[in-house]
Structure 1
């Protein structure tokens, strides 16, 4: 295979932290090359070097056999390299067309040609399989899955020779994932070199031609897809054998145990209709169904974000009207949102400050923050969740995705919640960190918490949850538990098919 893009002996350090150490990588034309590894293994730094975002301390980058050094991302774009990062780069207050053409809008008489820009955006959206997205729609009005498709269209509008995707399907619905897969196969057939990062092993098996595994900033192995078992790949990724993906499920609480959280006839703005559910202490209840069927709105309603919510919410058997997030927190409710960078963290602030932010009232006396108590609480949470940070004073934005998610979870654990609302908490996180989060959630339930868990991963719903409520068009259409909780039943119920068994 002749390499279109090659990195040789590349190293990058941030202070005392080694992000890459003499790492090498090569991808060929007409091939989809998967990059595998835990968060913090060096994958994101490697693709940032390819995209001109990060300058390596050592090593060489060769593009079609010629050594290059990109001082700026625009130089990489001009050379034919387009990168779609896990965290979106869209400007929410601008339209879809504005975002797609933002770096090089078509001009006429020195001004942006709006008609030409719309045509460019429509062509890019069509190429990305997202013709249903209106080019003049504000990005802020789109759900996360639609924004991800706009990000892909934005990259394709640059007509790249090399396309790099970092967890580009992590926020997509199952139907959109298949659209993107068809697109990538078409681009591969056109001779494009594609670098693909994903923690979903099924995607790798379905899509990749070649795989490279990274660990601790170094490439461990490169091999053709399908020549190693999942167990072998996982062992390469984390350096140890994985016996079980999910912790064992205990006996579920008896139906006579009073629910901590209960909703009766919950409805909102035509998006939620008559939601009845109860979550008992020690129970993990899953929310299934296709993305955008009301699961997010249910979380926001329970957390007091939405106005005009109809029906009853009961905490410990007492009817409450959740007036806002502060009131929800006082009731013992915590929400881990779907988009950690936008809704869960203050990226320029330190790991320490992000962790203590939601619990400042618990760490204060007479309105004065107790610094010693805060430091002890933060240090304890860093140890408990094994958060990998060189220094808690470092900006949380410098951490890997998995460690950022741990900070979001740890922030709420410091409030001692009794009701946990988890919105796709392992999206874009490596296998090892996923296992840590699964074990943590089960441990919190064992301590008496009531957990509501939404996930786009069917295996996660089956492996983590005691019961699953499947949503369709804002309604619960079926409850699944025990032997009935299967992938086939989840998929059929999500499509509202009658024969869901």
Structure 2
């Protein structure tokens, strides 16, 4: 039962795309001064719902009331004018423009018919301060900022429009832990100022910390709305997936200690960012990489995939010394390495191309003869991977951009599995996808390991490292400060090691 008359009410909202029903008679009520979490698997209808709220698309049926009055937005500009702004998971920033230019791009301040640069900078500074990102310089080019800082600019851009209702779609998925804490502080302050916030996240701990009201969507329908904190995580997940929620992580069968490593690194170093990294990865093993974000984890994966130049140290694959000077060499038959990148939109997929083209691009050499693609071999391998990863696509000749986020991520993974790699590097692969798809990816990783692959799995989610990994390399300041195994893979040890604080032996023994 909502405590006050909602600012925004949507009733009986339906939307179809051809024969696909994206929303069916969905209802939701958003009140001022509250954070409303929208929960559901990818493809549940969340994105369509917020696109209708934001004026990106129009519903086929139903009504929307803002402040008790019927509204219909013909464009995002119309929604913005009514006080509804969005921060989408896919950034809308223009890389070659400055931070200030991006923040005021829709309505720059003018003086004598020209853009008032002083006023523009003042607006940008105020918006960045309000977003908890005062360390970002308004004159910086967006393309020079890391992904997490760009996301903060996106939030500042939304706040500069002085909204009544702000929609955040996985707005923290690209952020570092320190930035997430800043955003949480900002959202709580905005709530206290009376702003209505719609918050979409697959991270249940974020929902627990922030949300006042929750609505669960499944298969395009609004299943249930309830006050935050009145249901357990298991109950919420069962509402989302429509079936009993079983163990998230597959069992760890254990790895034979006497197996020869498929990958060995000794004193791996690079340009002041990586220092003296030494570890082995055996076939059948999932080796986690943890630590606070930005401690060299991504650089380690890039080094192993041949992206970085002038790497120092020794790398061996199956006991054979190698020099990985390019991704082409890394993914060759001799080395058989695959890298699942961090950002599926910009690094993993060609969004305008088809599912088939995206799946085949990394494996053209293995499905071609004399420079001509063997369509039979290609189709057989694609069909095998579509079934293995349960990718939901009406046809493989549809644009990959039309798939849900979870299915897009599966395509990124399947693309590299086309080569049947023996070493799989994963860079935070479950960021921004739903709990059901995460569970499928965890099962897949264990299946790949059971098939003899060595998995190097970087994750910013401690639960994933604890649940999935046989060992965890914790990185700090570009080096591995500790390797956790067995019962030592727990949250206390992960956090302590990430901060480079060595736990006392008695503490380690007492850790459950």
Paired position in structure 1 for 2:422: 418
Distance 1:115 1:473 in 2: 39
1:65: which partner in 2?
A: 68
Aligned match of 1:193:
196
Q: How does 1:128-207 map to 2 (within 5 A)?
A: 128-207=131-210
Task: Tell me the CA shift for residue 363 of structure 1.
Answer: 0.7
Q: Does 1:15 align with 2:8?
A: no
Structure 1 runs (4+) greater than 4 angstroms displaced: none
The answer as to 2:124 corresponding to 1:121 is yes
The alpha carbon displacement at 1:437 in A equals 0.2
Aligned-pair CA distance for 1:305: 1.1
Q: CA deviation at 1:365?
A: 0.8
1:90 aligns with 2:71: no
Task: Give, in angstroms, the shift of residue 375 of structure 1.
Answer: 1.7
Taking structure 2 as the reference length, the TM-score comes to: 0.96
Q: Deviation per CA, 1:248-286: give whole Å up to 9, x if none.
A: 0011231x3221111111111211111111111111111
Residues 132-176 of structure 1, C-alpha deviations (whole Å, 9 max, x = no match): 222222222222221211111111111111011111111222222
Matched, 1:476 2:480: yes
Does 2:423 match 1:437? no
Matches within 5 A, 1:23-102: 23-102=26-105
CA distance in 2, matches of 1:211, 1:413: 37
User: Displacement, 1:24?
Assistant: 1.1
2:348 equivalent to 1:311: no
* Cα deviation, residue 108, structure 1: 2.5
Distance 1:319 1:109 in 2: 67
Match of 1:348 among 352, 357, 361: 352
Quote the offset at 1:62 in angstroms.
1.2
Task: Give me the whole-angstrom Cα distance separating, in 1, the residues matched to 2:38 and 2:493.
Answer: 32
Whole-Å separation in 2 of the counterparts to 1:271 and 1:91 = 28
Equivalences, count? 500
Tell me how far apart the structure 2 counterparts of residues 312 and 138 of structure 1 sit (CA, whole Å): 37
Alignment of 1:253-272 (within 5 A): 253-254=256-257, 256-272=258-274
Is 1:250 paired with 2:273?
no
Cα deviation, 1:207-252, whole Å, max 9, x if unaligned, reads 1111100000000000001111111111110011111010000112
Residue 335 in 1 paired to residue 357 in 2? no
Question: Deviations 1:294-343 (Å, cap 9, x if unpaired)?
Answer: 01111111111111222122111111111211111102110101100000
Moved more, 136-145 or 192-201: 136-145
- CA drift of 1:290 comes to 1.1
Q: Is the 8 A contact 1:265 1:273 kept in 2?
A: yes
Q: Any unmatched runs of 5+ in structure 1?
A: none
- Are residue 499 (structure 1) and residue 503 (structure 2) matched? yes
**Within 1, Cα distance between the matches of 2:106 and 2:354?**
31
Match 2:413 to one of 397, 409, 412: 409
Tell me how far 1:114 sits from its aligned partner: 2.4
Q: 2 CA distance for matches of 1:107 and 1:253?
A: 69
Match of 2:213 among 207, 210, 213: 210
* 1:5 and 2:8 correspond: yes
Q: Deviations 1:366-392 (Å, cap 9, x if unpaired)?
A: 111111221222222112211111221
Distance in 1 (alpha carbons) for counterparts of 2:495 and 2:502: 12
In structure 2, how many angstroms separate the alpha carbons of the residues matched to 1:38 and 1:165? Answer: 16
Please state whether the residue corresponding to 1:451 is helix, strand or coil: strand
CA contact (8 A) 1:253 1:281 kept: no
Q: Alignment partner for residue 466 of structure 1, among 467, 470, 480?
A: 470
Listed one character per residue, the Cα deviations across residues 54-107 of structure 1 (whole Å, up to 9, x for unaligned) are 111111111111111111111111111111111111222222222212212222
Q: Does residue 453 of structure 2 align to residue 449 of structure 1?
A: yes
Which range moves more in the overlay, 146-155 or 446-455? 146-155
Q: Distance in 1 between matches of 2:134 and 2:499?
A: 22
3-state SS of 1:12 partner = strand
Is the CA contact (8 Å cut-off) linking 1:17 and 1:390 kept in structure 2? no
Q: Per the alignment, in what secondary structure is the counterpart of residue 148 of structure 2?
A: helix
> In structure 1, how many angstroms separate the alpha carbons of the residues matched to 2:487 and 2:376?
50
CA distance in 1, matches of 2:348, 2:289: 20
Q: Does 1:232 align with 2:235?
A: yes
Contact 1:4 1:65 in 2 (8 A): yes
Alignment partner, residue 322 of structure 1: 324
Tell me, yes or no, if the aligned pair for 1:333 and 1:419 is still in contact at 8 Å.
yes
Give the alignment's Cα RMSD to 1 decimal.
1.2
Alpha-carbon shift at residue 113 of structure 1 (Å): 2.4
In structure 1, C-alpha distance between the alignment counterparts of 2:277 and 2:146, rounded to whole Å: 22
Please say which of residues 96-105 and 333-342 is displaced more in the overlay: 96-105
Residue 422 of structure 1 deviates from its aligned partner by 0.3
Q: Secondary structure at the match of 2:8?
A: strand
CA contact (8 A) 1:34 1:204 kept: yes
Q: Equivalent residue for 2:294?
A: 292
- Give the SS at the match of 1:3: coil
Compute the displacement of 1:479 (Å): 1.0
